[in-house]
Amino acid sequence: MGASGFPVDLILFGMIAAFLVLRLRSILGRRTGFERQAPPQYQAPAGQNPAAPVIEGRAETPAAATARTLPDAESPVGQTLARMRSIDRTFDPAAFLDGAEKAFRMIVAAFASGDRGTLRGLLNDETYNAFEQAIAARETAGQTQISTIHSIQNATIENAELRGNVASITVRVVSDQTSLTQDQAGHPVLGTDAVTEITDVWTFERDLSTRDPVWRLVSARSA
């Protein structure tokens, strides 16, 4: 504390938190300005495991009538997906998109709750470090985050690349969310409790020649 008694350390924490918030706007999405009344929150059907394998396995019925768009098989993206299948015969674009939606829900929830273990398994090193720094700054400042995905309006495979056996697929996700950061007294610091439409563009990556079935988030930005 300085000679005047002013809490300089709190100012430094605030500056660090502000920097990380700006850095993570491209990772966690931003508001498009279109707000909706909150629809009912999604609940997993009875018997369905909410922690099911991520971006792998058989395609399932979309939750809450999510519109999903796959590229035309004859398009450049569709042809790239076909080459991925030639390397890994178990790969299926529809199953991937189903898993990408699950991963999206899990990552948003894990960041809000500070669940580093879940994030560690779903993100590559660079993206995980950015999330972890933001969580640490939030904890130091005594802040909490409330993030709720009310519905996912649309999930679309936007791009696909194949570099040797390493595949990357970019997904555009349009969702209705509530995202609010509060201080220790419960006062809002960042975000809003209004339901807001957010568009995220996330890229997942996987080495198709390995037995590891998980596609990890390697890049994210807001559209």
In CATH, what is the architecture of 8-38+53-222?
A: Roll (3.10)
pTM of the model: 0.72
CA of residue 59 relative to chain centroid, distance: 19
> What pLDDT digit, counting tens, does each position of 84-117 carry?
999 999 999 999 999 999 999 999 999 999 999 9
- Model pLDDT for residues 51-90, shown as the tens digit of each residue: 333 444 334 344 456 899 999 999 999 999 999 999 999 9
- Read off the pLDDT of each residue in 192-197 and give the average, rounded to a whole number: 91
CA distance 124 to 51: 19
Backbone angles phi, psi at 122, to 5 degrees: -115, -10
Looking at residue 39, what is its pLDDT? 37
CA angle, residues 129, 130, 133, in degrees to nearest 5: 80
Beta strand 67-69 with 144-163 is parallel
**Residue 4 three-state SS:** coil
DSSP symbol at 73:
T
CA 140 from chain center: how many Å? 23
